[in-house]
Amino acid sequence: MKKSILMLLCIALLNITAKGEDAKKLFKKYGCEGCHSDYGIVAGPAFYMVKERYMKKFNGDKEALKKYLYQTIRKGSSGKWFNFIDMKMPSHPQIKEDEMKVIIDYIVNLKPPKKESK
C-alpha cells in the first residue's frame, strides 16, 4: 500500500516537472521570455505577479483566472502594468489550444518564490 502511494506521488511529481519543462519551451517558442519570467520583472510583469494580482481580483477563482489569461494572451493587452512606460503585450493567435492550456496551467499553478535564508 505504502509503495503504491509513493509510486503515485513520484509519477505526479514527474508529470508536474514535465509540464513545467513544456511550458518553458513554449515561453521560448513564442517569445514570452523576452518580457516575462517566473518571479522577476523583465519588460513585463513576472508570471507570479500576474497570478497573484488576478487571483485576488477573482477571489481565488482559478477558472476565472484561466479565462482571463486566455483572453489576455490571445488578444494582447496594454495599460495594465507599469504606468510609466507604454508597453503592449501583443496578441498571440498562433498559439495552439493544447499549448495555451500548458502555458496557462503553468502560470496559475506557480508556487510562491522561495525565501532566501539569511
C-alpha cell at 85: 512606460
Confidence of residue 76 (pLDDT cuts 50, 70, 90): very high
Q: pTM of the predicted model, to two decimals?
A: 0.78
Class for the domain spanning 2-108: mainly alpha
From residue 89, alpha-carbon distances to 4, 48, 79, 113 in Å are 45, 17, 9, 24
In this model, does residue 67 exceed pLDDT 60?
yes
Alpha helices in the chain (DSSP H): 2-29, 47-57, 62-75, 97-108
Instruction: Supply the DSSP symbol for 58.
Output: T
Instruction: Supply the DSSP symbol for 84.
Output: T
In this model, does residue 53 exceed pLDDT 70?
yes
- Kindly report the average pLDDT of the chain as a whole number: 84
CA atoms within 13 A on the CB side of 45: 16
From residue 63, alpha-carbon distances to 43, 54, 86, 94 in Å are 27, 11, 29, 22
Given this model, what pLDDT does residue 79 score? 86
Domain boundaries, the chain: 2-108
Distance CA 95, CA 97 (A): 7
